[in-house]
A and B are shown apart, each in its own frame.
Chain A
Amino acid sequence: MRARVLLAVARTTFREFWRSPEAVFWTYGFPVLMAVVLGFSFQPGELPKVPVAVVAGGDAVALLTTLGQEPRLAVQLLSPADADQALARGRVALLVRLDGASPVLRTDPTRPEAEVARLLVERRLLAGPETTLPTMRNEVEDRPGARYIDFLIPGLIGLNLLGAGMWGVGFNLVQMRTQHLLRRLAVTPMRHREFLAGYLLGRMVLVVPEAVTIVLFGHLVWDVPFRGSLLATALLVAVGAFAFAGLGCLLATRARTIEGIAGLMNLFQLPMWLLGGVFFDVERLTGVVRWAAEAMPLTHINRALRDVMLAPGTLLDVTVPLLGLLGFALACFWLALRWFRWQ
């Protein structure tokens, strides 16, 4: 490994990125944009009302009045056909219809709001129309460090590392292959590992400032706290970047076309977006899906980042995920070097 070659490749790679305004925007701008949109749409505030529908027929109007007394419910009266459609589209969480005198509750239990609706409706129906239920004081968790935005910011860092590894490393390598640049480089006395290492360095130096941007933005706009070890966070970001860069390289070893690599990347990226613990905690998943989520590097990066930044944690708390990710990264590179195709 000659440092001169490594640095020359890294410098060229970095310049190529830095001189593309679009690439810089999508790397720096996009995560911040996402934080803004999600941060403002999930502001802590009043408890939201749960929409339910009473199906017209029989004494439906009386039922409507009873349920209308529950402040947490948004009740409407719908014809049977409209009601079915509203439930199917998810516009209401529950349908109540009268079967003679007894009410029947209809929900789709796979929808998260169904159970809340059922509990609220049951409670009101058991109490009857006249009774006032004892009210309890509600507190909304809006302390910094416990809100959704606090949960989201570490996830966005993880997501960004994923994007940098996939698009920055994988996609670009394939592009260089299709332009015959890789084979031109391959007929020089530069060694393969020097090239790949320099290339990664050039692509990855930016992930740390990127992570800093996201953290700073969250802090300035929403007061998202940063409580844990700075060193541990920096190491997590670096090792996480390395892991996704390795995955990007591995996916790019064989792909000959832009379409080929785009497909492969989607295959890996999409499940991680959905299940990698960016938008909700993976502990909520069960069964096979949970296993799948636990197999994803993004899940471990996100969890470790949250453990450090919010819990707060130290380097010791995240040594296991750090070593695991490092192992994953090294395995990816080792395979990538063996399989890499220069033309």
Chain B
Amino acid sequence: MKATAADAAIDLRGLRKTYRKGKQTTVAVDGLDLVVPRGEVFGLLGPNGAGKTTTIEVCEGLTVPDAGSVRILGREWRTGHDDAIRSRIGVCLQETKFHEKATVRETLELFAAFFPSGRAVDAVLDVVSLREKAHARQSTLSGGQRQRLAVATALLGDPDLLFLDEPTTGLDPQSRRQLWDVVRSFKAAGGTAVLTTHAMDEAQQLCDRVAIIDRGKVIALGSPTDLIRSLGAEHLVEIDGEHFAERIAAAELTALPDVVAHELSPARVVLTVRSVHTALPAVLALARQRQVEIHGLATRHATLEDVFVHLTGRHLREDSKS
């Protein structure tokens, strides 16, 4: 679907933002273009410091960009429509502490009062499964419960456009899935959602399209399936063992049938392959011939993480380098 500026929920052109602290300057967003049509769940993916939060906060009107144009639901910030935009968006910041002594219900009632119209507090409590904690004070909530409360405040105004900055960080698997359901039903009701995440499975399951961001730029854009397909192969073969780099040359790996790309290190080989059943016997035969000892073998579907590695040669998250 090709969106035009008029009907897009978000339209960013040539966005640029630099932070200056003394002599040190950080280019957080470096000429970023992005169009998110209405009705889409859109994911921003990228390593720490890529510029996701900065981009989202520019959209929310919290950060003023140095250059570029920003249209949110067809309107621009600081042109006299700020309150109109704010009453149509819902925001969950990467970190917020609400009033410590207020209960969950009281916090929601406060936010509900800000919106001219919106959803009932009780309904939102149910959506994020915090009904039992309605009378618990903020200071007694667990991290995940606080996170769900933050999401609930974003839903109160019955927004057209929802911004969720790492909404599932710190949530247990069940709460994560619950939150996915929240986003899905929000979309089913016609809403547009933009979220950031470090979790590949989340992006793959939840997002219609994702933008992979690195160093303030969009380096890949499309549906998760399309992006993975762009690797030219959808499977990965991961082999752990010893002496790979000494005994096998990189060119030999590429020459194997159906192998599209590879990563070679002394104790590990990762092959991106079109078809496991032709590539796997070939690589095992090669390993046996060179007397390479194999300790472990796994095959899996390619993920967005692999797309990122393919594009940048780096991993999205340090801890995903297993």
Binding site for B on A (CB under 8 A): 4-5, 7-9, 11-12, 15-16, 19-20, 179-181, 183-191, 342-343
Contacts and interface: CB of A to CB of B under 8 A. Distances in A.
B162 to A, nearest CB: 12
The DSSP consensus for interface residues of chain B is loop
B102 A189 contact: no
B110 A180 contact: no
Contacts of A15: 99, 101-102, 106
B101 A187 contact: no
B110 A191 contact: no
A22 to B, nearest CB: 12
A8 B102 CA distance: 12
Interface string B85-100: 0110101010111111
B96 A188 contact: no
Contacts of B95: 180
A181 B97 contact: yes
Contacts of A343: 62
A180 B86 contact: no
Interface residues of B, number: 28
Interface stretch (B11-19, B111-119, B200-208, B283-291): B111-119
A189 B96 contact: no
Given A179-B96, A179-B97, A186-B62, A8 B113 contact: yes
A188 B86 contact: yes
A55 to B, nearest CB: 61
B51 interface: no
Nearest to A342: B62
Contacts of A20: 101
B100 A16 contact: yes
Interface of B: 60-62, 83, 86-87, 89, 91, 93, 95-102, 106, 109-111, 113-116, 137, 153, 157
A187 B100 contact: no
A184 B99 contact: no
Q: List 4 tightest A-B contacts by C-beta distance, closest first.
A: A8-B113, A179-B97, A19-B101, A189-B87
Contacts, number: 70
A12 B87 contact: no
Nearest to B156: A188
Contacts of A190: 114
Contacts of B60: 187
B99 A183 contact: no
A184 B115 contact: no
A4 B113 contact: yes
Contacts of B113: 4-5, 7-9
B110 A184 contact: no
Nearest to A6: B113
Given A12-B99, A189-B116, A183 B106 contact: no
A180 B60 CA distance: 14
Contact of A191 (B83, B93, B153, B157): B83
Contact of A12 (B61, B97, B102): B102
A179 B91 CA distance: 16
A7 B95 CA distance: 26
Contacts of B61: 187
A257 to B, nearest CB: 15
A342 B86 CA distance: 15
B114 A16 contact: no
Nearest to B94: A180
